[in-house]
Structure 1
């Protein structure tokens, strides 16, 4: 007997996802290729972190990013595999227009698409004409409101009318994308009104809607504006996009295109079931990379937990569906099939089979390769896997950084965790900064790792030590995987 749980909203959301089109800015992004085991964002040129706005959701003011070129070597640019460069993801680049012009020249000299990201305030017609002559391809302008009042609340600036006029100007010269951040129960209606206005009064080609990202340093301000408990609700985001489409039929309204399968797999694993059904409940289930109790652990990061419905939503958002009714999801005619490489110990094999069943329930076909130690390490080192048992984070995590976080390659133990250049900068801060800088750097590093999701925890095995009642002073060290015997007394 087959039971299908289905309702009207499921059909509606499926149709919305099916009709989503990738924004031109995301074309060529490695994250759209689900066969790419190690995707990266477009390279970027960062001009400055200075900005004439002070947006309540801005991530740039929470981190420190140096000016420069990220993702390729400016002295020996290897552009193979890249299609574009973004100027820039932090700060307002048009604070220094001449530097932007040089960045455009660099990009076009390397035969890449050039996308400028700006809040639009400093644009003018002469500058737009110069950019056109230099070969700029796309302008992305940030706007998340339809009234000056709401814009001022968001950006802390009276620049609404200027931005709106410059969007009109930009759309006459360039493929213009408006980037908007959705704040639940705050600006939904304004985004719909904004879409209608842009559709009727400009030549804007696309509106790209971003989910709100909440950080520790901006949570207080955001709580007073919208409902942060609804952040990350895919259903609400898709319904908003659908309503905006109805009011702006001439504009491609979409969401940011990115790789979602890793996160879907992380949500699909039933960690408690593995512990209970395979190992008598002895291992402690966890979706953390490292238990938060340890010093410098991920205290503010939300662990991945068993949530098959969210996993299904993420896979649908990534464009996967079962088109031929064989029970396996597919996209562009290719089934979603993953190779899981594990060791040959009974514990490893049993865990792999359980995960295989979890993923099969979602429509993901998993082929297990259970290998003896040497063969498993050789395959792991080549990166010849989709899922692999990886060396766990160990405490104290500072010891782990220079071993497994300085690059994004592979070794005998599986994948490494240097997922972007920012991780390397944070490692340097952790080793050289003051206490406050180190604390902030750890928080940011954990946010990056959990968002990118190169790996996820499944369970941790408890340590047990049995001794007679005449032994006192024994303890497990709080920071390292050692046993501390320094205070032991035998009476």
Structure 2
């Protein structure tokens, strides 16, 4: 019996290794220093922060943690001259800001060669607003496949609005459309393939599947929601869900994690855990006037 189990595990390990070797980094991660393992302390590509406020209150949110600890960045540009990509934004919901269109136009003019990425929960994106925006890539967060589960995770009854936003960007082939999903086993692991199937039907190009980072201030909320903490840190469990979702859409996992996994042999990959626990997220880039 033990030998048979070992054979099955070795077979699964080889399948996971093959899957990882064939994966490419998410489009959003391209140009990020995290893809270069020779850099000791890599930083994310530049961002323009508009507001730390958000109309969602997600149970896992790092921006919430930063606000509570007084660590949220002030509005402005965090980066350097001649960036290859800029994200609006990494904290809060940028579409809450009345300056979103103005800043979008300013960045396009100031950094004409840079790829502009919009990261949003999608609940405020309308056709009217979309016609005023000019982005190369749009990431919309969705972590549930039903209205009820979405409301439990986000504390907002906005599922239909988020799906509509995915439909808007999915139908615009001038941009790269991405659904950004956080892997929370015990909470949404069964939802992830369903999310992939749903957004693929809306024309979305890619799913960016990310492991959960557990912050101390969110631990109790995640526990009450049913998070399986051990599985949340298992790379094997993340990859198994990614393989299921891959049946429906182009699934990719965080680039900085992927480059490390590609260096591992099959058995190490099968047994490795990513310990993702932080007190508070910090912006490592300098704030500059633009």
The residue aligned with 1:85 is: 86
Query: Separation in 1 of the partners of 2:50 and 2:283?
Result: 22
Question: 1:255 is matched with which residue: 250, 253, 256?
Answer: 253
Q: TM-score, normalised by structure 1?
A: 0.49
Is 1:163–2:159 an aligned residue pair? no
Separation in 1 of the partners of 2:28 and 2:166?
Answer: 17
Residues 168 and 28 of structure 1, relative CA distance in 2, 3 Å threshold:
same
Which runs of no fewer than 5 residues in structure 1 stay unpaired? 73-77, 261-313, 323-417, 425-491
Q: Is the 8 A contact 1:167 1:204 kept in 2?
A: yes
Aligned length, in residue pairs: 254
Pairing partner for 1:420 from 268, 284, 287: 284
- How far residue 230 of structure 1 moved from its aligned partner, in angstroms, is 2.0
CA shift at 1:321, angstroms? Answer: 6.1
The structure, 1 or 2, with the larger RCO (C-alpha pairs under 8 Å, 6+ apart) is 2
Partner SS, residue 214 of structure 2:
coil
> CA contact under 8 A between 1:107 and 1:113: conserved in structure 2?
no
Pairing of 1:242-321 with structure 2 (within 5 A): 242-246=243-247, 248=248, 251-258=249-256, 315=260, 317=261, 319-320=262-263
Partner of 1:453: none
The answer to whether the 8 A contact 1:116-1:139 is kept is yes
Residues 32 and 45, structure 2, Cα contact 8 Å, conserved in 1:
yes
1: CA distance between counterparts of 2:183 and 2:94?
23
Indicate the structure (1 or 2) with the bigger Cα radius of gyration. Answer: 1
The CA RMSD measured in Å over matched residues stands at 2.2
Cα distance in 2, alignment partners of residues 119 and 219 from structure 1: 22
TM-score by length of 2: 0.82
Once the two structures are superposed, the pairs formed by residues 408-447 of structure 1 within 5 Å of their partners are 420-421=284-285
- 1:103 aligns to what? 103
Alignment deviations for residues 366-398 of structure 1 (CA, whole Å, 9 cap, x no partner): xxxxxxxxxxxxxxxxxxxxxxxxxxxxxxxxx
Q: Which runs of 4+ in 1 moved over 4 A?
A: none
The equivalent of 1:137 in structure 2 is 136
Which residue among 36, 39, 52 is the counterpart of 2:39? 36
Which consecutive unaligned segments of at least 5 residues does structure 2 have? 1-6, 67-71, 266-281
Alignment map for 1:388-427 (pairs within 5 Å)? 420-421=284-285
Q: Which of 44, 51, 54 is the matching residue for 1:51?
A: 54
Could you report, residue by residue, the CA deviation over 1:321-342 in whole angstroms, capped at 9, with x for unpaired residues?
68xxxxxxxxxxxxxxxxxxxx
- Counterpart Cα distance in 2 of 1:138 and 1:14: 29
Question: 1:138·1:175 contact (CA, 8 Å) conserved in 2?
Answer: yes
